Chains A and B, each alone.
Chain A
Amino acid sequence: MSEPFDPPGQPWVRVSPRLATLRRLLLLALGVPVAAAAAVLVGLLHRSLGLAVGIVALAGLAWGFVVLGRRVRSWGYAERDDDLLVTRGVLNRQLVVVPYGRMQYVDVTAGPLDRRFGLATVQLHTAAAATDAQIPGLVPAEAARLRDRLAARGEARSAGL
């Protein structure tokens, strides 16, 4: 049923599953205290209602846990001779094709948590602000390789505006 987002004759390169681990840890770190606080507060007023709130919050967290995994698994990219393809999204899906000749610059970013988990994000920029081509959850070595390769190909196929 997913033909429109099929890979372009070569398989998608998927991002590191560690990204899912990182995001899940963030979800738990933020979600568990909030859920616990809500359950306790409501529980002080009304015991069984507090229990219900706790159960709903737990179910929500479990659902978020599953969704995060699916979202991370949905990211993928493919390098072709003339362009880079990036796909993402479970509910709202997107596939973007960026020609190397249109790249203005490439960013590699990694926050403190990303670095601890050995992850980095590569983002491509063109003259169009709408171009949304970022690839999170790359191993730093792969991110650097991708950046250099994109830069080299962009140079070779550069076109003006």
Chain B
Amino acid sequence: MMLKALEQFRHRRFRRDLSAYVDDMLSEKARRRLEAHLHSCEACRQELAELRATVETLGSLPMAEVPRSFTLAAPPVAEVRPRPTARRLEFGLRLATATAAFALTLVVVGDFAGLPGGGEQEEEKPSGMLLSANQETPAVAEAVPVGTPAAEETQPMIGAVPAETPAAVEAPPAETPAAVEAPPVEAPAAEETPSAIVGAPAETPEPPGIWSRDVPGVTEGPTPAPAGVEEGVFGFGEQAQDKATVEDAEVDEEADLAPDGAPAVAEEEDGGLSRGDVVRWLEIGLGAGVGILVVLWVTTRFHRGIGDRG
């Protein structure tokens, strides 16, 4: 049973290679394997013969003569395109949007990663070590607006290392209730901290216990939302593709690497999707994803604020 299924699978793979074999486009190894299979598989031999006949027949189609000459009598009028400045502006705006979205994602992911699981972590926190680490790295500004709007004057530095050592570093929320209410996207601490050293967190010693406990929180928190976004975007493309051809869905080319996947989907004209459309949907999807993340983040913050007060 299993063997038969495996045989079927191999057979399908070999069938897929037949076209490239006709054009001598298989690698030496694949070619030899296919030839060995052909030796033992009557169905594949038949299909190969039919495939060759098909190619030959198509090749025998005569080319039509042109009905007239297509030479140009005069240089055509220049195409009306958006002015380069306008296009540059658009590009700049899109780049800015993308950067903002990315930064915002960092903020939220960083913040989720930085959420303390509960009060008991404070006791385990080796604050002395952290302090010295922070003295070495006086400013981790870039991370500040990101990770901790909470960390105002009270603990500007400690909160600044959200990504790498999340729970260990976050200031105890109970001590800074006011900070919790700080507007989420603003970065008040950033003004106090003059420069950015992103590499700094590496020097911060990791408290292993806390780190390991917080890992699930880190991974579970923010990821579902982006995943959903991706599914949404690519699901859309795939629907279009399915409409275009059912066969396409079942036969998947092994040589199609992931980077090819997107453009391939984008090019499925039969679904009425152009590359531009896909980019637009991708942008919309990203925007929606970021929006969901922000809402999640704000909600979590809000709950935490209530919890702290209570």
- A and B: bona fide binding partners: no
Q: Could you tell me which A residues sit within 8 Å of B by CB distance? A: none
Name B's A-contacting residues (CB within 8 A). Answer: none
